Chains A and B, each alone.
Chain A
Amino acid sequence: MNKTVPGPEDAIKDIKDGMTLMLGGFGLCGIPENCITALVKKGVKGLTCISNNAGVDDFGIGLMLKQRQVKKMISSYVGENAEFERQLLSGELEVELIPQGTLATRCLASGYGMPAIFTPAGVGTEVAEGKEVRNFNGKEYLLEYAFDADFAIVKAWKGDTHGNLIYKETARNFNPMMAMGGKITIAEVEHLVPAGELDPDHIHTPGIYVHRIFQGKNYEKRIEQRTVRKK
């Protein structure tokens, strides 16, 4: 079951204008850098992007925002991006802010084949407006629906030709459940190995969820907040 494609251009070749994409990562950590570059080059427009954050001005999803490729962002926090702010205030960009755990679990529900979840996050706030509220054991919960994404694009540390994935440290974040949640899932990895080389006990995302995989190049892995202590 060889799922390898030569590179990001081949992996994203059938992503079209107006599609909905899940993009893995938390801040700039664990983002699919190669696919984002390829999407910018391809110039697809009118995209709805489900991603915890929206990158920074000159990196990550920020690069797609700059080219006006994004119609709508579905995120939990979009703080660090001046171009994002400008497009939002001018009405060029639509944004739906949802609680981070709700975002993660709605992705998970897609990959688990469940249409919806109940969560207490947002009860009594504007997030609850227009949503069904259900009481379980004396506590209120909101009904939130699974996402319906055309493509999920994730970044892993290691992967094999069957599409099995292993993530590294906190670069795991949203990648596993987005990998599970896409109708078609593209994985870019730092190290691609033949099937059989990864220990089956160590796989985080089983290859059944992954349709295309390639070894990425020139990872920049930019750090958003470099904090250190003195020796």
Chain B
Amino acid sequence: MLDKEGIAKRIAKEVKNGYYVNLGIGIPTLVANYIPKDLDVILQSENGLLGMGPFPFEGEEDPDLINAGKQTITTLPGSAFFDSAMSFGMIRARKVDLTILGAMEVSDTGDIANWKIPGKMVKGMGGAMDLVASAKNIIVAMQHVNKAGESKLLPKCTLPLTGVKCVKKIVTELAVLDVTDKGFRLLERAPGISVEQIKNATKGKLVVEGEIPEMKID
């Protein structure tokens, strides 16, 4: 079974040279730590920055320089600032190659729910609805089951939707799966996890074809 860092490491392997990438809050933010140094990748922060760098050194925090999670950050050489309209303009126009975000539920048709739990205080969708409605490629980082052991990979989401038919790939603590016309397709197992365990943890349609390899993460 993968921990959060493990999920981030596995997702980092999906990032290709030359990609512009938008990372959501939570596990997706950790992905930045595992993108191989030899790749030329530029991170977009939807509050208005291309070329997001690491956190600043202590004492060098700049209140005017934050990411979409409102954390203090730095810029890398070749960065660009822009306003929020242009930021979502480049997202809508599919200039961003890969969007990585978290989810509470995903359906086997690629619907995603990640912004609202009825009965709980609603904080808002932020940029998530814009991102999922327009992204070229969406990878979701999520837990396969909830604390009660119930599947979060469902035939149909039970929570209010963030977007429909948009998720392409899912990485959980148990598995890597693609969303296809036939449902979730199992691609890889987490270390020590059996196909049977994944089947039991997946309530939506699951396609298992041939031998399923164990994922390789260093």
Query: Which residues in A have some Cβ–Cβ distance to B below 8 Å?
Result: 26-30, 52, 75-79, 85, 88-89, 97, 99-105, 107-108, 119-127, 157, 167-177, 204, 221-231
Across the interface, do B70 and A177 meet the contact criterion of CB distance under 8 Å? no
A98 to B186, CA, bound (A): 35
User: Contacts A168-B64, A176-B83 known; A124 to B58 CB distance under 8 Å?
Assistant: no
The residues of A that contact B172 with a CB separation of less than 8 Å are none
Closest to A127 in B: B129
Across the interface, name the chain B residue whose C-beta is closest to A29.
B66
Which range contains the number of B residues in contact with the other chain? 35 or more
In the complex, the 7 A-B pairs of residues with the closest C-beta atoms, listed nearest first: A101-B88, A101-B130, A124-B164, A77-B124, A221-B63, A79-B123, A120-B133
Beyond contacts A121-B92, A167-B81: 11 other A-B pairs, Cβ-Cβ < 8 A, are A27-B66, A52-B84, A76-B124, A77-B123, A101-B92, A121-B130, A122-B129, A169-B75, A171-B63, A221-B64, A228-B57
B160→A123 contact, CB < 8 A = no
- CB within 8 Å of A: which of B45-69? 45-49, 54-69
Instruction: Name the B residues within 8 Å of A119 (CB-CB).
Output: 92, 130, 133
Check A173 against B47 for contact (C-beta < 8 Å): yes
Q: Is the interface of B mostly helix, strand, loop or mixed?
A: loop
CB distance A79 to B124 under 8 Å?
yes
* B133 and A122 form a contact (CB under 8 A): yes
Q: What separation, in Å, do the CA atoms of A169 and B50 have in the docked complex?
A: 11
Q: How far is the CA of A102 from the CA of B134 in the complex (A)?
A: 12
Q: List 11 A-B contacts (CB under 8 A).
A: A26-B66, A88-B121, A99-B125, A104-B85, A108-B85, A120-B133, A124-B164, A127-B125, A170-B48, A176-B85, A177-B83
Could you say which of A100, A120, A121, A176 contacts B46, with CB atoms under 8 Å apart? A100
**CB within 8 Å of A: which of B29-58?**
45-49, 54-58
- Are A228 and B63 in touch, CB under 8 angstroms? no
Contact for A231 among B57, B134, B165, CB less than 8 A:
B57
Chain A residue with minimal CB distance to B116?
A126
